[in-house]
Amino acid sequence: MDTAAPENPNRPPDPITLGEAFRYWLKLGFISFGGPTGQIAIMHQDLVERKRWISEKRFLHALNYCMVLPGPEAQQLATYIGWMMHRTWGGVISGGLFVLPSLFILIALTWVYLVFGEVPLVAGIFYGIKPAVTAVVLFAAWRIGSRALKSAPLWAISAGAFVAIFVFQVPFPAIVLAAGILGYVGGRIAPDKFATGGHGSAQKHYGAALIDDATPTPAHAFFRWPRFAGILAVFLAIWAGTLAALIALFGWESTFAQMGWFFTKAALLTFGGAYAVLPYVYQGGVEHYHWLTATQMIDGLALGETTPGPLIMVVAFVGFVGAWTKAALGVSALALAGCTGAAVATFYTFLPSFLFILLGGPLVESTHGNLKFTAPLTGITAAVVGVILNLAAFFAWHVLWPEGFSGRLDVFSLLVGLAALAALWRYRTGMIPVIFACGAAGLIYRLISG
């Protein structure tokens, strides 16, 4: 990562060309480990703190919008920032490069998984990475919480969200709705308690940014009905046209056409990020369509957790295995079918994300600094901190007690997790070195212990 900061923090950096932005987004696509919270932290460190492409207040305002959308919030945030900087093509490039490296990596790893079966080398690396991912999520919850929870009501909302999802298994959309309502009411009753600008306090100032707090909204980011209708028509044409082509080539009952329809629904009907989508994908892919087994689904999730890109990229694994298992292009073309299935699943999962940003971005840009709109987002962000903490608890439970609480405690995973947390929290080590070091430790331990 580029750690060099601009020399004079009192003046914004020089304008960034589309080529410079392309190189950064490509790099990010290959190093965006750690799930959505880790990826958001990487973008914050790079784009807010170091490069100063966007101020923290504008960054957090955009993030709040992405948090309430169905789909991967980190990829949508990258799309939003790219769109703000370089119009529609900037958003397409930033969002696309966030996904494409992970797609190619997962295609290669899934092929190896299916052809060669159990690979002790990979299993050992995964063994060390899992507690590291747990530490990354916990650290990210602390980072976001330290910026977002600036008043007692926000702490209460966060704690309530954690209890609701951890103890009572309340659906994430219900938590988001309740937190938004509480934020709206709180913004009217006690505006000073909800005026933090949403996902963070925005009190830290890292210097003048290209897109600063007071930077006027660029011309392309103003809401216009003709533009709104045009973008909607283009996306509907792309979606309907590609799905019609799959139906024409393979038939409605074919694996590819059913994947296109199923992953469209998964993208539109599920909120809360990858772990809210997974139960729906599991139910469809394993139980309804029988594209893969439950064990394969778990293995695919492990691959998704330990490769760059959004965690929901596990859909590429599902698409590859499903098309391979069903021999969608015949028994002599299993690899080609798998690659096609992975591409289909990824395309229909992420297409709505671009629509949400390009369609809704102008509406969001018109609301930054407006308490009536930001107070509900502030409440939602406080709730999201509690949900992320629940995710860390879920990881810790399954990593430290792989056989359940009645089984033994995995002492090695506990030590690796604590070491990773100390490296991140106390020594401010980068997430990528921590993940690789823990993966190497897991491999060495497995080799030594046999």
Nearest to 305 by CA among 142, 125, 437, 427: 125
SS3 400: helix
pLDDT band at 4 (very low <50, low <70, confident <90, very high): very low
Section 299-310 average pLDDT: 77
- pLDDT at position 276: 58
Section 409-420 average pLDDT: 93
Q: In whole angstroms, what is the distance from residue 299 CA to residue 301 CA?
A: 5
Section 312-326 average pLDDT: 95
Nearest to 221 by CA among 388, 411, 381, 85: 85
pLDDT band at 304 (very low <50, low <70, confident <90, very high): confident
Q: In whole angstroms, what is the distance from residue 153 CA to residue 15 CA?
A: 40
- pLDDT at position 398: 77
Greatest mean pLDDT among 189-193, 230-234, 391-395: 230-234
Instruction: Report which of residues 100 and 450 the model is more confident about.
Output: 100
Question: How many C-beta atoms surround the C-beta of residue 331 within 10 A?
Answer: 7
**What is the per-residue pLDDT across 192-224, written as a single tens digit (0 to 9) for each?**
887 654 444 444 678 899 999 888 888 899 989
pTM: 0.73
Please say whether the beta carbons of 85 and 215 come within 8 A. Answer: no
- pLDDT at position 174: 81
Partnered with residue 54 across adjacent β-strands are 211
Phi-psi domain of 261 (left: phi exceeds 0; alpha: psi -120 through 50; beta: other) = alpha
pLDDT band at 10 (very low <50, low <70, confident <90, very high): confident
The total number of residues shown for the chain amounts to 450
Lowest mean pLDDT among 49-58, 77-86, 263-272, 429-438: 263-272
Nearest to 391 by CA among 123, 140, 126: 140
- pLDDT at position 5: 46
Please say whether the beta carbons of 144 and 388 come within 8 A. Answer: yes
**What is the per-residue pLDDT across 156-188, written as a single tens digit (0 to 9) for each?**
999 999 999 888 878 766 887 898 899 889 888
Question: How many C-beta atoms surround the C-beta of residue 302 within 10 A?
Answer: 18
- pLDDT at position 270: 61
Section 220-232 average pLDDT: 93
For CA atoms 166, 170, 174, 177, the dihedral sign is negative
Nearest to 236 by CA among 258, 268, 266: 268
Please say whether the beta carbons of 133 and 35 come within 8 A. Answer: yes
pLDDT of 321 strictly over 90: yes
Beta strands in 64-157 (DSSP E): none
**What is the per-residue pLDDT across 341-357, written as a single tens digit (0 to 9) for each?**
999 999 999 999 999 99
